[in-house]
Structure 1
């Protein structure tokens, strides 16, 4: 039973408003996060392609690893981590996420509940390893090679487990 004194103050209004509107707000939050996650994925894919091509071109041309190359790799790393965090939030509030973990015989349910999150976590770990190992290298060619290998592996893993039917 709600105390009448609480309803008089602003706190009581907030409690009643939250009680009746929470399911509605959760629906809109889910839709917003899903659209953001899908839209941000385009940016991630473009950044990964650009970073991998930049690394291969730098490696093949023999040019020095510059601050520009470092910033490209760092920006891609940060953007991919943002995508991971948004994806994890989406996984826990989505009806297609952890709620379908028992449906392993259904290929679409398995993709959204297990394969997509797990593979993309591995991909972002590989991108992070590429960033970390390039910092330890002293030669430009080795730095470009680390970016080319790890960022391309991350890109391939991400592309392999995109739920194309659910994507924008």
Structure 2
């Protein structure tokens, strides 16, 4: 079961990155060029929110089925924090991904409250860019390639 969930989580991450990149660039371009915010922009932002939340649910399931999770009982906090790999998979990656999802959710929620196009794009650009940067810093790149 763990291998299947890990496979789904790993490949769904590519979709999350692609969609988040598209949404981020869409927001930056829309803000910079004073474009009118339309239904397509809304769908891109919403799809980013949905895809990232699905990844979060898969990640939570993976976290509790992973062999790394059992290391909490075996190694304790000190042992996990002393080991770079255990710290990445048990603490850094889950925490930073959760922060990224929170940033995406806040950005999406705040942008809906704005009445004109430029502030909508600005909010999305800020929060989605921050989320993208957080995600890029804590992806276990060695496991991807």
TM class by shorter chain equals over 0.9
2:137 is the alignment partner of 1:160: yes
CA distance in 1 between counterparts of 2:55 and 2:41 reads 21
Indicate the residue corresponding to 1:39 in structure 2: 11
| SS in structure 2 of the partner of residue 91 of structure 1 | helix
Indicate the residue corresponding to 2:39 in structure 1: 67
Residue 109 (structure 2) aligned to one of 113, 129, 132:
132
Asked which structure has the greater CA Rg, the reply is 1
2:71 is the alignment partner of 1:100: yes
The structure in which a higher percent of residues are helix is: 2
Deviations 1:1-56 (A, max 9, x none): xxxxxxxxxxxxxxxxxxxxxxxxxxxx1111101100000110011111010001
Indicate the residue corresponding to 1:110 in structure 2: 87
TM-score by length of structure 2 reads 0.93
CA distance in 2 between counterparts of 1:133 and 1:62 reads 19
Gapped regions of structure 2 (runs ≥ 5): none
CA distance in 1 between counterparts of 2:71 and 2:55 reads 21
Gapped regions of structure 1 (runs ≥ 5): 1-28
Segments of 4+ moved more than 6 angstroms = none
Greater RCO between the two (CA within 8 Å, min separation 6)? 2
CA distance in 1 between counterparts of 2:71 and 2:40 reads 43
Residues matched between the structures, number: 139
Aligned CA RMSD, in angstroms, stands at: 0.9
Deviations 1:61-113 (A, max 9, x none): 111100100000000100000000000000000002x2234321011110000
